[in-house]
Chains A and B, each alone.
Chain A
């Protein structure tokens, strides 16, 4: 009987979901709805971060709609969004973008997760002249194609870990060590995002004159980094830099602890998204984490309030984040929706070309940071910050203007 009820409940839920998606499918802007579309990674190797981004989109849409929606002239519109699962593969992303545009009538796109997927989708949105505000594709290779309809709210990836290199050089000087004696180990996933993070790190390593002792490019879907860890054990670098999305961050942390490696400074991306503090506890202490956004920053806007208010509200409304740090992937996804709202209201029209022009002149302060686009479409008004996990808390340690805590070095 219990199973029978469960089946009925599941069937009802499924029908409700299908009905909801059908309603979204049929919605058009003239009915007081603005239909946004997004192909997002719900399965596959980027599923974790993809879910963060989707939560950000959904939260922002609910919040903006609750605050009265989008006001264009004397009419009010509500946001709706149509999703497809791109399965974390660029072979699928471009096709789904075509489907959203041609079959579902989407005229305004929210970005997918990762630079690779964004690179697959951007040519499609560009071809159809569909404005896309994306929040999860940071590689500079996105912004050298002359795209006119692509806008990214986040900072580009070469800035992610560059400040970690500067910190290592500074610490070396303070301890009377020449920068050339600072040994750096690099472990990067072989994908557009991480390769661009690496390019930024390499530029800074050259600038400060540090020495690279390990430079590993690792396969996708990082579940094992033992060869890199073995080299680290032998060569004892002073700084380890890792970039491999959520899986890379998790795998590196697990294996550093398993192999009992003692590295004075470890810097990586995606700490919050991989929930390093929740999953690995004190073993992740002292890690430096690149972040696009921190809840301690002082930005605020009229819809979401301050960064810390946004953080509190997410924790309250989405139980999955109640006990862990809210990842920046979620915050920037919400910011992307807000940028759309602002541009719609300034353009005073549903016309996608007018919207595109309004997006290009965006100059907005959000809870996520300032948003102002260059001609290439990347956000040039917002810096990256570097946080250190200190006693299970993420504290900003660089750049100096935003630092709330001193760097703890060496990590224990």
Chain B
């Protein structure tokens, strides 16, 4: 089969599912919004973890930064933030239609920018670290950020912050956040598909394969690493801003900087789907989310045990992830011509025999 045609069919199917599933199953729109969030998590983690060989455990930092930046802007544009977040409560705060959407537009833009700025600054600090040291270093950034925000009274500290209520019908807000998350996931995927086909993609692959050699060949590694991390931060920052509004209530440790849940899920989803591939993270995220939602519903109280079993199975039996396993088992699906190689090998054997 023509692989180009097959790919086009696949893209159309994914788009059609994304558009029509929430219309056919409107009750599940919340879970589908989260599904796209998981896809964004996995795709953005794979930029560093899969394509560049830097296993970051702190990417969730940008998610939280985006979330808090947007929330602060959305509230402080119209009310005094300190009063709004006071544990004792103040007046009643309402946001009109235009206030809500203006705040959101400005908030989301700032969220993306602030996340990128943080990626550039922190990149200077952590990209000197390699291997496990990089993983621990980035984890520390996310953990410390959660703790610092918990003590920051202006944003409500550990008490958290409620975001403006949607000024319309509930179905409107659900469709809005679903569409935002879906579009962001599509944008992330399309951008990364393009990015991996450019010289930049090759350069970060070179860093993964041998950083010293890459540097020897003239690739500016620090610059490339920082840009790659900034791209992750950009999409994660916006995702955080959308999720904050979708969840309506944010707090530092479990919603904004949840290193032990979302922070680990993004790594696990990529490992499950297949590191360093474009579709691997997407497949991993979809499978992971479905398994997670099912265990949460039907194995109440045992959901974390089921998740643990999934991690063990992935790590022990599917180290290459689903995409890696498929590539090994059915290389011709991916345009890898094994037959030719075999022919060449037998030709070489014949030559040697002569």
Contacts and interface: CB of A to CB of B under 8 A. Distances in A.
A127 B301 CA distance: 28
Interface string A309-349: 00000000000000000000000000000000000000000
Nearest to B253: A220
A120 B251 CA distance: 10
A346 B173 CA distance: 33
B30 A95 contact: yes
B304 to A, nearest CB: 7
A21 B300 CA distance: 11
Contacts of A94: 247-249
A192 interface: yes
Contact of A139 (B87, B250, B296): B87
Interface stretch (A71-79, A85-93, A231-239, A271-279): A85-93
Interface string B92-130: 111000000000000000000000000000000000000
Contacts of B170: 127-128
Contacts of B90: 144
B135 interface: no
Contacts of B157: 190, 195, 217
A217 B87 contact: no
Contacts of B160: 90, 116, 119, 192
Given A42-B300, A127-B166, A145-B162, A91 B258 contact: yes
Contacts of A189: 158
Nearest to A140: B89
Q: Chain B interface residue count: which class?
A: 35 or more
A89 B258 contact: yes
B303 interface: yes
B304 A89 contact: no
B165 A192 contact: no
Contacts, number: 126
Interface residues of A, number: 43
Given A146-B94, A191-B158, A127 B173 contact: yes
B223 interface: no
Contacts of B31: 95, 99
B89 to A, nearest CB: 3
A217 B174 CA distance: 36
Interface in A136-191: 139-141, 143-146, 158, 189-191
Nearest to B163: A123
Contacts of A126: 165
Interface in B126-180: 147, 150-151, 157-160, 162, 165-166, 170, 173-174
Interface in B62-98: 86-94
Contact of B158 (A84, A119, A120, A190): A190
Q: Indicate the member of A91, A119, A127 with the most B CB atoms within 10 Å.
A: A91
A191 B157 CA distance: 8
B254 interface: yes
B94 A198 contact: no
Interface in B235-257: 247-251, 253-255
B162 A103 contact: no
Interface string A187-212: 00111100110110000000000000
Interface of B: 26-31, 34, 86-94, 147, 150-151, 157-160, 162, 165-166, 170, 173-174, 247-251, 253-255, 258, 261-262, 296-298, 300-301, 303-304
Given A145-B92, A145-B162, A195-B159, 7 more contacts: A91-B247, A91-B258, A102-B27, A116-B159, A116-B249, A190-B150, A219-B150
15 contacts: A85-B296, A91-B247, A94-B247, A95-B247, A99-B30, A103-B28, A116-B159, A139-B159, A144-B90, A190-B150, A192-B158, A192-B160, A196-B159, A217-B157, A220-B253
Interface of A: 18, 21, 42-43, 83-85, 89-91, 94-95, 98-99, 102-103, 116, 119-120, 123-124, 126-128, 139-141, 143-146, 158, 189-192, 195-196, 198-199, 217, 219-220
